[in-house]
């Protein structure tokens, strides 16, 4: 076996989890002033907004590969500057979450492979689809954890984040 074994139901659950977590991030980020939002906090993508932008960029690039939606502009080095303010980021985050949910709801199989041109290695790459889907959700969790830590350090009270406590996990 070359990939991991996941199902469309797993993908739908993870899309719901992602949207649930992003909803409180949106509320928290919109509640911060620009100085708190853009302060360099020593993270790889600098600030809360920079890291949230990178996560959004990553979601959009993978969604473009999975569902054929338009990819975001620029590459990873420019991903932290995707949106310049909280309101623009929040609107785009909501739209992307809706796109992820729609893709997940219509996904019929996690089998097969996906081939795409990777800017990271500047070559065409082919990998098992199920592995890439797991990477997609793992990437989200990784960077949401960074944002969570920065929000906590900025004094934001954060809610439960555990998948086990997601409302209506189905």
What are the C-alpha distances in Å from 144 to residues 15, 45, 101, 117? 14, 12, 18, 26
Q: Provide the residue-wise pLDDT of the chain in tens; the chain has 170 residues.
A: 455 679 999 999 999 999 999 999 999 999 999 999 999 999 999 999 999 999 999 999 999 999 999 999 999 999 999 999 999 999 999 999 999 999 999 999 999 999 999 988 989 999 999 999 999 999 999 999 999 999 999 999 988 888 888 887 55
From the number of C-beta atoms within 10 Å of its C-beta (0-12, 13-18, 19+), residue 94 rates as middle
Q: What is the pLDDT of residue 1?
A: 46
Question: Is 45 in contact with 51 (CB distance < 8 Å)?
Answer: yes
Q: What is the pLDDT of residue 170?
A: 59
Buried b (16+ CB within 10 A) or exposed e, 130-153: bbbbbebbeebeebbebbbebbee
Helices (H), 5-128: 8-30, 34-38, 48-67, 86-106
Q: What is the pLDDT of residue 51?
A: 97
DSSP 3-state of 80? helix
């Amino acid at each position: 076996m070359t990939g991991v074994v996941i199902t469309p139901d797993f993908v739908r659950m993870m899309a719901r989890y992602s949207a649930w977590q992003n909803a409180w991030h949106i509320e928290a980020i919109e509640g911060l002033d620009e100085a708190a939002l853009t302060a360099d906090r020593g993270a790889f993508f600098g600030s809360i907004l920079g890291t949230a932008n990178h996560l959004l960029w990553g979601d959009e690039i993978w969604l473009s590969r999975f569902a054929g939606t338009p990819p975001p502009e620029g590459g990873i080095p420019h991903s932290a500057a995707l949106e310049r303010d909280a309101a623009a980021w929040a609107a785009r985050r909501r739209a992307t979450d809706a796109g992820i949910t729609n893709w997940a709801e219509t996904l019929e199989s996690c089998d097969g492979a996906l081939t795409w041109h990777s800017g990271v290695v500047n070559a065409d790459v082919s990998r098992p689809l199920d592995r890439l889907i797991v990477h997609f959700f793992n990437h989200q969790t990784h960077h949401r954890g960074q944002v969570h830590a920065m929000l906590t350090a900025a004094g934001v009270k954060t809610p439960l984040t555990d998948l086990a406590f997601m409302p209506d996990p189905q």
